Structure 1
Amino acid sequence: MTKRPLVMFSPMPPLKNGIADYTASFVDSLACQYDLYVVTPENTAPLHTPGYTSLTALEYDQHTSSFATAAHAYQIGNNLDHVYALKPLSNVPGLVTIHDLSIQHMVGASFPGGAGGEAYAELMFEAYGRQGLEISRDVSRWQRQSHVVHSELGLLPLLVRRAKGIVTHSFTGFLRATAAGYERPIHVIPHHYQERIDALRGSRQDRRRAARHSLGLRQDAIILLSLGFVTRAKRVDLTLKALKLIPEREKPVILVVAGEQNAEEIDLAAEIQRLGLHGRVLIQGYVPDGQMIDYLAACDILVNLRYPTLGESSGSLANGLGVGCCTVVTDIGTFSELPDECVVKVGVQEMTPDGLAYRLLPLVSNDCYRETLESNARHYAESNLRTEQFVTRYIDAIEDCLFDIVTVQVPSYRQVRRFLAPSVRKDVEAKATALSRQCPLRPASMWWRELLLPVGRKSDVLMTSDGFAAQLAKDAFGWSDVISAADSGAGRTAGTILATCEAEDFVDQPGEFLYRTVSRLQLGGILIFNIIDRHGKYFAHISELFDGDDEAPPLNLAVKRSRISTLCEEVGLIIQRQISAFQEISINGAISDAGTEFAFVATLRSLVTWDGSAIRINE
């Protein structure tokens, strides 16, 4: 049987990246199921692997047409090793595994001008509308970005809009993706531990002694372990301060920091000297993946803190549970989801030296307590986090999202859309007049009188809730694929939406009305919105909404913006044209009662596209 092609974008070893180790742990199993191509960053050499093909991003770009019909999957984290995957993801939507619920660091660091630049401002606008734009302006003005922006405004909407399906490792991730407006499949698959952990032999105590002997660590000490890249969020500084408060009674208590350091994040050597902890802290630096399991086996207590959290999953934690480590975590985000009997949770309000020391002291002094937690952790991991369980569920996600659904079409606003010439307006009007005789109420007409609807293209889908509009779009504007907003499923989207509504339905909650409409519009899609006020009752109210200069670019905040433009920006739309008076007055008696109508055309888009590792602002 011929295997179906699957292209996966992910860093791979020897790159120093936790997601590289994550993908390497299951990629061989995936290759048994699919004709697998693993695309790595441009600065890495392709791997020589018998089971699958490895190629760099540059090689993929040179042979893009060869993968036109292949399914695509993406492993996305929050560092610069993943920037190379953003351009392919924007062009070829696929199954996205979101390892960090914020990509603020990656996006800001990869932009010209950083988080204070125009490109960053545009993406904040695309993700969060007007509020996101104002926050980006504050960052530019004050040259400072609050950690709250990273944790609460993680630019997740940018990823979910480009995904056919999502894999997340936590229920927290599921909630965040849902809150970002995502309505396609979301698969929650816990982060697995590495398969080679199951090959460890002997009791926990025997494995601890053997690992300490191999690593040259003391056999008589209580060893606390901080494993992985040393960042501020892992609060190693707090662990050091808590260590100073823990007395050494029957056994020495030491901390091993095994992970690559960044002096800009924390100066460990200076902190150790300031606290007088020489002899109680071992700094090991970067630990190769092959030694990581040994350090986990060697420790008595794994300290895996996060504050603030970006919703990330932790490979070190999953592997620690698999080894059977007694583990301390911060009671926040994804870590709160772990069973209380498996880990010790430190509340956010307890994240102080005294609070952490209070949680660590019983573990340091009570061997039986630690052994109980170790046994519970191992049992939980064997039941829920085995690699074979993960692979089975990940393949289910691939089948569900990439092979069992219709390919998602993401229209590009850079493509030319053709509109009817004014000379054919009379022909359109004749067809509209004939159709209108079948309508109990006069239908909205500004959208077709002003020829706001583009001509239908092959593979384009038009969505509307107006039966008159649907038929006229087919008869006069060349649309063949027109679907009803009411009859299509909740997750169905379209590249063009034609919305007509009564003024009385719109004026009370215009923002909510727009939000519901935009939730069905694909990224890059066009919205034609036509409001009809039959008796002029709401004329003053709607005129006030449309008052202002909508020819101003969205970043020109000094120009007066109309209220309707601001409402659109809040839901990610950019107005291209708005009309509050008919340009052509009909002389056809059947539809001469024009009433009062307002209309606008807007696109759900960004002015930014990813271009390899750089960002290009479209002119």
Structure 2
Amino acid sequence: MLHCNSLRILCTGMGWPSAQPGGLNTYFKHICESLATRHELEALVCSANKPVVQDDLRVTNVAVTDLKLSKRRDAFRKHAAELMNGQDIDIVYSHFAPYSIGVAMEAKARNIPVVMTFHGPWSEEIRLEGKGLKHRIKTMIAKSWEMKAYRLADAFIVLSETFRDILHHQYGVPLSKIHIIPGGADVARFKPAVNRTAIRKKLQLEEGTTAVLTLRRLVNRMGLLQLLEAWKEVARTIPDAVLFIGGKGPLQGELESRIAEYGLQSRVRMLGYIPDGELADYYQAADLFVVPSQALEGFGLITVEAMAAGVPVMATPIGGNREILQKYRPDMLFAGKSSQDMASGLIRLLRHREMWPTAEQCRSHVLENYTWDRVSKQVDSVFNHVIDQHLIAYGGNRQVSAGKKGGREQDEGSLFGSYR
């Protein structure tokens, strides 16, 4: 079937990284920006502050983050319904299950196809970070919301084979509905330093220091406690290596206590939250980047960002990181996810820097496989496939919702008329 160059897309995300940092929000920002270069796109988010966006992108904050989750969900539905009543939407593209439910229901009432990107099992992430009866109930409610949202989707995009398998086995989504499209890096922003010495001086890195960097949300599944345990052995063996941990989260106090308990105050530096605008400097200053994830690493956005900046990455063989490095440099994967596996791998690598991939090799792998332009074009293909299937299923006609704004009628098929 023939497609026009421009679609009218309604995107719903969780937040915007300028106000609410995180991998999902970073992904959402970049895919929206890239799609907006070719399509008419409206993005809805929930944010405590006004999102900072580029001039040609329409992003609306539909609710503040301190509202109850159910009220935020309802705000997304109400705003999406108003948009659908006021203009024709070709496709809804959703990124966070709780906020997707009402929006998808409104889309279905108007016969608009829905594509969802599955960023991971939200309920499982909740389960891993707490315990007790109230927490179990919270987990069960989250899972029911996920199931309700996913039943409404025509197709899914996942960032790795790992998340494809989770979506299929744990949520019962048919494999035929799932499309694997890895994420990307902002290669214009994350690139090797022109003057690395100046950046290291700016960040107060002493000459001769081997800087090993990780940037993580400080929660259990990110593997930072295991990394600290491993670093005890690394510190005894590699005298010039210093570990830098960037990020914030509930594990901060425990990490600081462990550093003191292990006597690593001079060998580990907690950086706190690193503002988005400073990330490139930290990547460029590092000698090695490490990703110690223990579970639910769907892609590894920081992995490809670091590599785009020319920094070798060593990671546990979990989720997307395994898939990124296995096809590139499998020797940069730890044997497993235990602290001993990390210690052995880091010591092996730090003793033999001649084994490391060069900055050019790291960046080339990203340029060939993980750019946002590449990602958005693959997402376009999914959209067109879903629209084609929708046209076939409905005979090329669109049934207009009785709730269309002002009660005005619309010719059947007008939404997709431009595709014929």
Q: Quickly name the TM-score band, shorter chain normalised.
A: 0.7 to 0.9
Mapped to 1, the partners of 2:26 and 2:140 lie a distance apart of: 33
1:170 aligns with 2:160: yes
Q: Call closer, same or farther: CA 1:108–1:57 in 2, change over 3 Å.
A: farther
2:260 is matched with: 273
Name the structure 2 match of 1:528: none
Q: Does 1:303 align with 2:290?
A: yes
Partner amino acid for 1:367? R
**2:212 corresponds to which of 216, 224, 227:** 224
- For the residue of structure 2 that corresponds to 1:25, the secondary structure is helix
Write out aligned runs for 1:212-611 (5 A). Answer: 212-247=200-235, 252-263=240-251, 267-307=254-294, 309-340=295-326, 341-342=328-329, 344-348=332-336, 351-352=338-339, 354-370=340-356, 372=357, 374-402=359-387, 405-406=390-391
Instruction: Tell me which of 96, 99, 110 is aligned to 1:84.
Output: 99
Contact between 1:225 and 1:299, CA under 8 Å: does it hold in 2? yes
Task: Give the direction of change, closer, same or farther, for the CA distance of 1:26–1:217 in structure 2 (3 Å limit).
Answer: farther
Give the structure 2 partner of residue 195 of structure 1: 187
3-state SS in 1 of match to 2:272: coil
The answer to whether 1:14 aligns with 2:19 is: yes
1:324 partner SS: coil
SS in structure 1 of the partner of residue 333 of structure 2: strand
Alpha-carbon distance change, 406 to 176 in structure 1, aligned in 2, over 3 angstroms: farther
Report the CA distance between 1:279 and its aligned residue.
1.3
Encode CA deviations 1:329-360: one digit per residue, 9 max, x unaligned. Answer: 11233332234452522233x613x3321111
List per-residue Cα deviations over 1:300-331 (Å, max 9, x = no partner). 22110111x12522211121122232222112
Q: Distance in 1 between matches of 2:381 and 2:94?
A: 16
Partner AA of 2:381 in structure 1: D
Q: Specify the SS of the correspondent of 1:45.
A: coil
Query: Residue 25 in 1 paired to residue 11 in 2?
Result: no
| Structure 1 residue 166: Cα displacement | 0.9
Instruction: Answer whether contact 2:19 2:48 (CA < 8 A) is retained.
Output: no
- Ranked by relative contact order (alpha carbons within 8 Å, sequence separation 6 or more), the top structure is 2
Kept in 2: contact 1:40–1:55 (CA 8 A): yes
**Percentage of identical aligned residues:** 16
Change (3 A) 1:178 1:220: same
- Residues 1:90 and 1:222: Cα distance change in structure 2 (over 3 Å): farther
For 1:261 and 1:183, the matched residues in 2 are separated by 35
Quick check: 1:332–1:347 contact (8 Å CA) kept in 2?
A: no
Deviation string for 1:533-561 (max 9, x for gaps)? xxxxxxxxxxxxxxxxxxxxxxxxxxxxx
Alpha carbons of 1:362 and 1:373: their partners in 2 closer, same or farther (altered >3 Å)? farther
User: Separation in 2 of the partners of 1:107 and 1:57?
Assistant: 28
- Does the CA contact (< 8 Å) of 2:212 and 2:242 recur in 1? yes
Q: CA distance change for structure 1 residues 357 and 42 in 2, over 3 Å: closer, same or farther?
A: closer
Match of 1:98 among 100, 114, 118: 118
Question: Distance in 2 between the 1:65 and 1:238 partners?
Answer: 48
The DSSP-based 3-state class of the residue aligned with 1:331 is coil
Q: Secondary structure at the match of 1:257?
A: strand
Q: Is the 8 A contact 1:169 1:313 kept in 2?
A: yes
Q: CA RMSD in A?
A: 3.3
Q: Structure 1 length as normaliser, TM-score?
A: 0.53
Q: Distance in 2 between matches of 1:2 and 1:268?
A: 51
| Residue 7 of structure 2 corresponds to residue 4 of structure 1 | yes
**Partner of residue 173, structure 2:** 181
Separation of aligned partners in 2, 1:407 and 1:99: 29
How has the CA–CA distance of structure 1 residues 266 and 73 changed in structure 2, closer, same or farther, with 3 Å as cutoff? farther
Q: Would the aligned equivalents of 1:160 and 1:177 in 2 still touch at CA under 8 Å? A: no
Distance in 2, matches of 1:314 and 1:91, equals 33
1:55 deviates by: 1.2
Q: C-alpha distance in 1, partners of 2:272/2:213?
A: 13
Summarize deviations over 1:251-291 as a string: whole Å, max 9, x none.
5211101111324x761211111001111111111111221
CA displacement at 1:195 relative to structure 2? 2.9
The gaps in structure 1 that reach 5 residues or longer are 77-81, 127-154, 410-457, 460-619
Distance 1:216 1:402 in 2: 53
The one-letter code matched in structure 2 to 1:21 is: T
Return the letter of the residue paired with 1:291: E
Cα 1:392–1:164, aligned 2, differ >3 Å: closer, same or farther? same
Q: Aligned partners of 1:178 and 1:250: how far apart in 2?
A: 44
Contact 2:325 2:333 in 1 (8 A): no
Q: Does structure 1 conserve the Cα–Cα contact (< 8 Å) formed by 2:237 and 2:347?
A: no
CA change 1:63–1:55 in 2 (3 A) is same
Larger Rg: 1
Contact 1:157-1:181 at 8 Å conserved across structures = no
Alignment deviations for residues 567-605 of structure 1 (CA, whole Å, 9 cap, x no partner): xxxxxxxxxxxxxxxxxxxxxxxxxxxxxxxxxxxxxxx
Q: Deviations over 1:411-456 (max 9, x none)?
A: xxxxxxxxxxxxxxxxxxxxxxxxxxxxxxxxxxxxxxxxxxxxxx
Aligned length: 364
CA distance in 1, matches of 2:190, 2:290: 22
Work out whether 1:66 is the aligned partner of 2:83: yes
- Distance across 2 between alignment mates of 1:156 and 1:63: 19
In the alignment, what sits opposite 1:436?
none
- Structure number with higher helix proportion: 2
Alpha carbons of structure 1 residues 200 and 67: separation in structure 2 relative to 1, 3 Å: farther
Please tell me whether the aligned partners of residues 321 and 381 of structure 1 are also in contact (alpha carbons under 8 angstroms).
yes
DSSP-derived class of the 2:260 partner = helix
Tell me how far 1:16 sits from its aligned partner.
2.1
Change (3 A) 1:339 1:122: closer
Cα-to-partner distance string for 1:137-162 (whole Å, 9 max, x where unaligned)? xxxxxxxxxxxxxxxxxx86555322
Compare the two structures and name the one with the higher strand fraction. 1
Structure 1 pair 408–301 and aligned structure 2 pair: CA distance change class (3 A): farther
Whether 1:56 and 2:45 are equivalent positions in the alignment is no
SS at structure 1 position matched to 2:354 = helix
Taking the aligned partners of 1:16 and 1:8, their CA distance within structure 2 comes to 18
Q: CA deviation at 1:296?
A: 1.5
Assess if the C-alpha contact under 8 Å between 2:184 and 2:371 holds in 1.
Answer: yes
The Cα shift of 1:4 comes to 3.5
- CA deviation profile, 1:456-515 (whole Å, cap 9, x unmatched): xx99xxxxxxxxxxxxxxxxxxxxxxxxxxxxxxxxxxxxxxxxxxxxxxxxxxxxxxxx
What code does the residue aligned with 1:65 have? E
Q: Distance in 2 between matches of 1:399 and 1:17?
A: 29
In the alignment, the residues of structure 2 paired with residue 63 and residue 123 of structure 1 have an alpha-carbon distance, to the nearest angstrom, of: 22
Q: Which residue of 2 aligns with 1:146?
A: none
SS in 2 for 1:310: coil
Contact 2:216 2:222 in 1 (8 A): no
Unaligned stretches of 5+ in structure 2?
A: 64-74, 109-113, 401-420
